[in-house]
Structure 1
Amino acid sequence: MASSYSRRRTPSPLPGLFVFLVSAGSLGFAFYAQYVQKFLPCILCLYQRVPYYSATGLAIISLLLIRQPGLSRGMIYLCGLAFAIGAGIAFYHVGVQELWWDGPEMCGGLTSGASNVADLKAQLLAQPIVRCDKIEWKLFGITMPTVNLFFSIVMAVFCFLAPRSSMMRTTGQN
Protein backbone atom coordinates (compact mmCIF):
# COMPACT_ATOMS: atom_id res chain seq x y z
CA MET A 1 0.00 0.00 0.00
CA ALA A 2 1.73 3.02 -1.23
CA SER A 3 0.16 6.21 -0.10
CA SER A 4 1.22 9.61 -0.96
CA TYR A 5 1.36 11.81 2.09
CA SER A 6 2.25 15.42 1.67
CA ARG A 7 2.37 18.11 4.25
CA ARG A 8 1.37 21.65 3.60
CA ARG A 9 1.81 24.46 6.05
CA THR A 10 -1.03 26.93 6.18
CA PRO A 11 -1.09 30.11 8.22
CA SER A 12 -3.50 30.61 11.10
CA PRO A 13 -4.94 34.08 11.76
CA LEU A 14 -5.81 33.26 15.40
CA PRO A 15 -2.82 34.93 17.15
CA GLY A 16 -3.27 38.14 15.17
CA LEU A 17 -7.01 38.12 15.74
CA PHE A 18 -6.54 37.48 19.47
CA VAL A 19 -3.98 40.29 19.84
CA PHE A 20 -6.23 42.66 17.91
CA LEU A 21 -9.29 41.86 20.03
CA VAL A 22 -7.40 42.10 23.32
CA SER A 23 -5.66 45.36 22.37
CA ALA A 24 -8.76 47.02 20.98
CA GLY A 25 -10.78 45.80 23.96
CA SER A 26 -8.21 47.19 26.40
CA LEU A 27 -8.28 50.56 24.68
CA GLY A 28 -12.07 50.46 24.71
CA PHE A 29 -12.02 49.83 28.45
CA ALA A 30 -9.58 52.72 28.97
CA PHE A 31 -11.80 55.08 26.97
CA TYR A 32 -14.86 53.84 28.87
CA ALA A 33 -13.13 54.52 32.19
CA GLN A 34 -12.06 57.96 31.00
CA TYR A 35 -15.19 59.23 29.26
CA VAL A 36 -18.03 57.32 30.92
CA GLN A 37 -16.71 56.70 34.44
CA LYS A 38 -14.86 60.06 34.42
CA PHE A 39 -11.50 58.67 35.59
CA LEU A 40 -9.07 61.25 34.26
CA PRO A 41 -5.79 59.67 33.11
CA CYS A 42 -2.41 60.99 34.17
CA ILE A 43 0.42 61.26 31.67
CA LEU A 44 1.73 57.78 32.58
CA CYS A 45 -1.74 56.32 32.01
CA LEU A 46 -1.69 57.86 28.54
CA TYR A 47 1.80 56.46 27.90
CA GLN A 48 0.55 52.99 28.87
CA ARG A 49 -1.96 53.15 26.02
CA VAL A 50 0.72 53.55 23.33
CA PRO A 51 1.74 49.85 23.29
CA TYR A 52 -1.92 48.91 22.84
CA TYR A 53 -2.26 51.31 19.90
CA SER A 54 0.90 49.77 18.43
CA ALA A 55 -0.23 46.19 19.02
CA THR A 56 -3.63 46.92 17.47
CA GLY A 57 -2.00 48.24 14.30
CA LEU A 58 0.59 45.47 14.15
CA ALA A 59 -2.10 42.82 14.63
CA ILE A 60 -4.07 44.28 11.72
CA ILE A 61 -0.93 44.17 9.58
CA SER A 62 -0.36 40.56 10.70
CA LEU A 63 -3.87 39.65 9.57
CA LEU A 64 -3.36 41.40 6.24
CA LEU A 65 -0.09 39.52 5.71
CA ILE A 66 -1.48 36.12 6.69
CA ARG A 67 -0.47 34.63 3.32
CA GLN A 68 3.13 35.59 4.09
CA PRO A 69 3.71 33.60 7.27
CA GLY A 70 7.16 34.98 8.04
CA LEU A 71 6.00 38.58 7.94
CA SER A 72 2.79 37.79 9.77
CA ARG A 73 4.74 36.07 12.56
CA GLY A 74 7.15 39.00 12.67
CA MET A 75 4.26 41.37 13.33
CA ILE A 76 3.14 39.24 16.27
CA TYR A 77 6.70 39.25 17.65
CA LEU A 78 6.66 43.05 17.38
CA CYS A 79 3.38 43.03 19.31
CA GLY A 80 5.24 41.08 22.00
CA LEU A 81 7.93 43.77 22.05
CA ALA A 82 5.24 46.47 22.36
CA PHE A 83 3.66 44.63 25.29
CA ALA A 84 7.07 44.18 26.95
CA ILE A 85 7.64 47.93 26.67
CA GLY A 86 4.13 48.45 28.05
CA ALA A 87 5.02 46.25 31.03
CA GLY A 88 8.04 48.46 31.67
CA ILE A 89 5.91 51.62 31.58
CA ALA A 90 3.32 49.99 33.86
CA PHE A 91 6.06 48.91 36.31
CA TYR A 92 7.38 52.47 36.39
CA HIS A 93 3.84 53.77 37.05
CA VAL A 94 3.32 51.24 39.86
CA GLY A 95 6.57 52.47 41.41
CA VAL A 96 5.38 56.07 41.22
CA GLN A 97 2.04 55.16 42.81
CA GLU A 98 3.73 53.18 45.57
CA LEU A 99 6.15 56.11 46.12
CA TRP A 100 9.19 53.95 45.37
CA TRP A 101 10.48 56.77 43.15
CA ASP A 102 9.37 60.13 41.84
CA GLY A 103 7.35 60.42 38.67
CA PRO A 104 8.31 62.55 35.71
CA GLU A 105 7.99 66.32 35.98
CA MET A 106 4.89 66.19 33.77
CA CYS A 107 2.99 64.15 36.37
CA GLY A 108 0.43 66.48 37.77
CA GLY A 109 1.72 69.34 35.72
CA LEU A 110 0.43 71.10 32.65
CA THR A 111 2.33 71.69 29.45
CA SER A 112 1.32 75.19 28.53
CA GLY A 113 1.36 77.13 25.31
CA ALA A 114 0.28 80.27 27.14
CA SER A 115 1.83 83.49 25.98
CA ASN A 116 1.18 85.43 29.17
CA VAL A 117 0.37 84.93 32.84
CA ALA A 118 -3.37 85.54 32.40
CA ASP A 119 -3.61 82.81 29.73
CA LEU A 120 -1.59 80.42 31.91
CA LYS A 121 -3.85 81.12 34.89
CA ALA A 122 -6.96 80.45 32.75
CA GLN A 123 -5.47 77.15 31.54
CA LEU A 124 -4.54 76.08 35.06
CA LEU A 125 -8.00 76.84 36.39
CA ALA A 126 -9.70 75.03 33.49
CA GLN A 127 -7.61 71.85 33.65
CA PRO A 128 -7.92 69.31 36.43
CA ILE A 129 -4.52 68.24 37.67
CA VAL A 130 -4.12 64.48 37.58
CA ARG A 131 -1.20 63.29 39.63
CA CYS A 132 0.60 60.09 38.62
CA ASP A 133 0.98 58.97 42.24
CA LYS A 134 -2.74 59.33 43.01
CA ILE A 135 -4.59 56.03 42.96
CA GLU A 136 -7.82 56.64 41.07
CA TRP A 137 -9.19 53.08 41.06
CA LYS A 138 -8.64 49.85 43.01
CA LEU A 139 -10.17 46.41 42.87
CA PHE A 140 -9.29 44.13 45.79
CA GLY A 141 -6.39 46.49 46.53
CA ILE A 142 -4.98 46.21 43.00
CA THR A 143 -4.53 49.41 40.98
CA MET A 144 -4.99 49.77 37.23
CA PRO A 145 -1.23 50.10 36.52
CA THR A 146 -0.68 46.85 38.47
CA VAL A 147 -3.38 45.12 36.43
CA ASN A 148 -1.80 46.50 33.27
CA LEU A 149 1.66 45.30 34.37
CA PHE A 150 0.56 41.68 34.72
CA PHE A 151 -1.68 41.85 31.65
CA SER A 152 1.18 43.25 29.54
CA ILE A 153 3.54 40.53 30.72
CA VAL A 154 1.01 37.80 29.85
CA MET A 155 0.39 39.32 26.42
CA ALA A 156 4.12 39.68 25.74
CA VAL A 157 4.70 36.02 26.59
CA PHE A 158 1.74 35.01 24.42
CA CYS A 159 3.08 37.03 21.47
CA PHE A 160 6.56 35.52 21.79
CA LEU A 161 5.26 31.94 22.05
CA ALA A 162 2.14 31.90 19.84
CA PRO A 163 3.87 32.26 16.45
CA ARG A 164 5.87 29.10 17.07
CA SER A 165 2.90 26.93 17.89
CA SER A 166 -0.19 28.30 16.22
CA MET A 167 0.75 30.60 13.36
CA MET A 168 1.45 27.53 11.28
CA ARG A 169 -0.58 24.39 11.49
CA THR A 170 0.24 21.33 9.48
CA THR A 171 -2.47 19.66 7.48
CA GLY A 172 -2.00 16.26 5.93
CA GLN A 173 -3.45 15.26 2.59
CA ASN A 174 -3.80 11.70 1.31
Structure 2
Amino acid sequence: MGSSYSRRRKPSALPALFIFLVSAGSLGFAFYAQYIQKFLPCLLCLYQRVPYYSVLGLALVSLLFLRQPGISRTLIYLCGLAFAIGAGIAFYHVGVQELWWDGPEMCGGLQSGANNVADLKAQLLAQPIVRCDKIEWKLFGITMPTVNLFFSIAMAVFCLMAPSSKMMRTHN
Protein backbone atom coordinates (compact mmCIF):
# COMPACT_ATOMS: atom_id res chain seq x y z
CA MET A 1 0.00 0.00 0.00
CA GLY A 2 1.28 3.43 -0.86
CA SER A 3 -0.54 5.29 1.88
CA SER A 4 0.87 8.42 3.42
CA TYR A 5 1.39 6.51 6.67
CA SER A 6 4.09 4.36 5.11
CA ARG A 7 6.25 7.37 4.21
CA ARG A 8 8.63 8.83 6.72
CA ARG A 9 7.21 12.00 8.25
CA LYS A 10 8.97 14.94 9.85
CA PRO A 11 7.75 17.67 12.16
CA SER A 12 7.27 21.22 10.99
CA ALA A 13 10.26 23.52 11.22
CA LEU A 14 8.10 26.47 12.31
CA PRO A 15 8.42 26.15 16.11
CA ALA A 16 12.21 25.74 16.03
CA LEU A 17 12.56 28.55 13.50
CA PHE A 18 10.31 30.82 15.58
CA ILE A 19 12.27 30.03 18.76
CA PHE A 20 15.57 30.66 16.97
CA LEU A 21 14.41 34.01 15.57
CA VAL A 22 12.95 35.15 18.89
CA SER A 23 16.20 34.34 20.70
CA ALA A 24 18.31 36.05 18.04
CA GLY A 25 16.03 39.10 18.17
CA SER A 26 16.20 39.24 21.97
CA LEU A 27 19.97 39.11 21.95
CA GLY A 28 20.01 41.68 19.16
CA PHE A 29 17.91 44.01 21.33
CA ALA A 30 20.26 43.45 24.30
CA PHE A 31 23.30 44.29 22.14
CA TYR A 32 21.48 47.32 20.71
CA ALA A 33 20.75 48.58 24.23
CA GLN A 34 24.36 47.97 25.26
CA TYR A 35 26.31 49.24 22.27
CA ILE A 36 23.98 51.78 20.62
CA GLN A 37 22.00 53.13 23.59
CA LYS A 38 25.04 52.76 25.90
CA PHE A 39 23.17 50.92 28.70
CA LEU A 40 25.98 49.04 30.42
CA PRO A 41 24.81 45.59 31.54
CA CYS A 42 25.28 44.42 35.08
CA LEU A 43 26.36 40.90 35.99
CA LEU A 44 22.76 39.66 36.22
CA CYS A 45 21.94 41.21 32.83
CA LEU A 46 24.80 39.21 31.33
CA TYR A 47 23.58 36.04 33.08
CA GLN A 48 20.12 36.58 31.59
CA ARG A 49 21.63 36.30 28.10
CA VAL A 50 23.01 32.79 28.66
CA PRO A 51 19.67 30.97 28.19
CA TYR A 52 19.17 32.83 24.90
CA TYR A 53 22.59 31.66 23.67
CA SER A 54 21.64 28.11 24.68
CA VAL A 55 18.29 28.33 22.94
CA LEU A 56 19.94 29.56 19.74
CA GLY A 57 22.05 26.41 19.65
CA LEU A 58 19.24 24.06 20.67
CA ALA A 59 16.80 25.49 18.11
CA LEU A 60 19.43 25.28 15.37
CA VAL A 61 20.19 21.63 16.17
CA SER A 62 16.44 20.94 16.29
CA LEU A 63 16.17 22.29 12.74
CA LEU A 64 18.98 19.97 11.68
CA PHE A 65 17.20 16.93 13.18
CA LEU A 66 13.73 17.46 11.68
CA ARG A 67 13.88 13.99 10.11
CA GLN A 68 14.13 12.56 13.62
CA PRO A 69 10.99 13.89 15.33
CA GLY A 70 11.86 12.52 18.77
CA ILE A 71 15.16 14.38 18.87
CA SER A 72 13.66 17.55 17.43
CA ARG A 73 10.83 17.57 19.99
CA THR A 74 13.23 16.87 22.86
CA LEU A 75 15.36 19.83 21.80
CA ILE A 76 12.28 22.07 21.75
CA TYR A 77 11.47 20.89 25.29
CA LEU A 78 15.05 21.72 26.31
CA CYS A 79 14.53 25.21 24.88
CA GLY A 80 11.55 25.48 27.22
CA LEU A 81 13.75 24.44 30.14
CA ALA A 82 16.35 27.06 29.15
CA PHE A 83 13.66 29.75 29.02
CA ALA A 84 12.36 28.62 32.44
CA ILE A 85 15.89 28.98 33.85
CA GLY A 86 16.07 32.41 32.21
CA ALA A 87 12.81 33.33 33.91
CA GLY A 88 14.34 32.32 37.24
CA ILE A 89 17.39 34.51 36.64
CA ALA A 90 15.15 37.40 35.58
CA PHE A 91 12.98 36.94 38.70
CA TYR A 92 16.10 37.06 40.87
CA HIS A 93 17.20 40.26 39.09
CA VAL A 94 13.75 41.84 39.56
CA GLY A 95 14.01 41.01 43.27
CA VAL A 96 17.42 42.67 43.47
CA GLN A 97 16.11 45.78 41.69
CA GLU A 98 13.06 45.95 43.94
CA LEU A 99 15.33 45.47 47.00
CA TRP A 100 13.51 42.29 48.04
CA TRP A 101 16.92 40.68 48.58
CA ASP A 102 20.60 41.45 48.09
CA GLY A 103 22.30 40.91 44.77
CA PRO A 104 25.67 39.32 44.16
CA GLU A 105 28.71 41.03 45.64
CA MET A 106 30.36 41.46 42.26
CA CYS A 107 27.79 43.46 40.39
CA GLY A 108 29.63 44.64 37.29
CA GLY A 109 31.05 43.19 34.11
CA LEU A 110 34.26 43.69 32.22
CA GLN A 111 34.93 42.67 28.66
CA SER A 112 38.69 42.86 28.41
CA GLY A 113 40.93 42.98 25.40
CA ALA A 114 44.02 43.49 27.55
CA ASN A 115 47.31 42.11 26.30
CA ASN A 116 49.09 42.14 29.67
CA VAL A 117 48.48 42.50 33.39
CA ALA A 118 49.16 46.25 33.42
CA ASP A 119 46.54 46.83 30.69
CA LEU A 120 44.05 44.63 32.54
CA LYS A 121 44.65 46.54 35.79
CA ALA A 122 44.12 49.87 34.01
CA GLN A 123 40.87 48.58 32.48
CA LEU A 124 39.62 47.31 35.82
CA LEU A 125 40.30 50.63 37.48
CA ALA A 126 38.65 52.59 34.66
CA GLN A 127 35.65 50.26 34.33
CA PRO A 128 32.43 51.74 35.72
CA ILE A 129 30.72 49.57 38.31
CA VAL A 130 27.25 48.64 37.11
CA ARG A 131 25.03 47.86 40.05
CA CYS A 132 22.44 45.12 39.66
CA ASP A 133 19.93 47.08 41.72
CA LYS A 134 20.25 50.20 39.56
CA ILE A 135 17.43 50.61 37.05
CA GLU A 136 18.82 51.74 33.69
CA TRP A 137 15.57 51.71 31.71
CA LYS A 138 11.87 51.83 32.51
CA LEU A 139 8.78 51.99 30.34
CA PHE A 140 5.47 52.52 32.15
CA GLY A 141 7.24 51.43 35.36
CA ILE A 142 8.43 48.15 33.83
CA THR A 143 12.17 47.39 33.85
CA MET A 144 14.13 45.25 31.37
CA PRO A 145 14.44 42.31 33.80
CA THR A 146 10.66 42.42 34.34
CA VAL A 147 10.06 42.36 30.59
CA ASN A 148 12.50 39.46 30.31
CA LEU A 149 10.75 37.61 33.15
CA PHE A 150 7.35 37.64 31.43
CA PHE A 151 8.86 37.06 28.00
CA SER A 152 10.86 34.05 29.24
CA ILE A 153 7.78 32.58 30.91
CA ALA A 154 5.76 32.99 27.70
CA MET A 155 8.51 31.38 25.62
CA ALA A 156 8.90 28.51 28.12
CA VAL A 157 5.17 27.80 27.87
CA PHE A 158 5.34 27.98 24.07
CA CYS A 159 8.25 25.54 23.97
CA LEU A 160 6.50 23.11 26.29
CA MET A 161 3.26 23.24 24.27
CA ALA A 162 4.63 23.40 20.72
CA PRO A 163 5.77 19.75 20.41
CA SER A 164 2.24 18.51 21.11
CA SER A 165 0.45 21.17 19.05
CA LYS A 166 -0.77 21.07 15.47
CA MET A 167 2.18 23.26 14.57
CA MET A 168 4.62 20.43 15.33
CA ARG A 169 2.54 17.57 13.93
CA THR A 170 4.19 15.60 11.26
CA HIS A 171 3.72 16.23 7.58
CA ASN A 172 5.16 14.75 4.41
TM-score (norm 2): 0.87
Which residue is 1:60 aligned to?
Answer: 60
- Deviation of 1:170 after TM superposition, in Å, equals 5.3
> Residues 21-170 of structure 1: matches in 2 within 5 Å?
21-108=21-108, 120=121, 122-165=122-165, 166-169=167-170
Contact 2:43 2:109 (8 Å CA) reproduced = no
Q: Distance in 2 between matches of 1:40 and 1:14?
A: 34
Quick one: distance in 1 between partners of 2:168 and 2:157? 15
Q: CA deviation at 1:108?
A: 4.2
Give the whole-Å Cα distance in 2 for the aligned partners of 1:70 and 1:100: 42
Q: So what's the TM-score if we normalise by structure 1?
A: 0.86
Question: Structure 1 residue 15: deviation in Å?
Answer: 0.6
- CA RMSD between the two structures: 2.6
| SS of residue matched to 2:10 | strand
Which of 1 and 2 has greater Rg? 1
Aligned length: 166
| 2:129 partner SS | coil
Misfit runs of 4+, over 2 Å: 4-10, 122-125
Stretches of structure 2 lacking an aligned partner (at least 5 in a row): 111-115
Identity, % of aligned positions: 80
Q: Hey, which of these two has a bigger chunk of helix by percent? A: 2
Change (3 A) 1:35 1:154: same
Structure 1: segments with no counterpart, 5+ residues: none
**Cα distance in 2 between the residues matched to 1:89 and 1:125:** 28
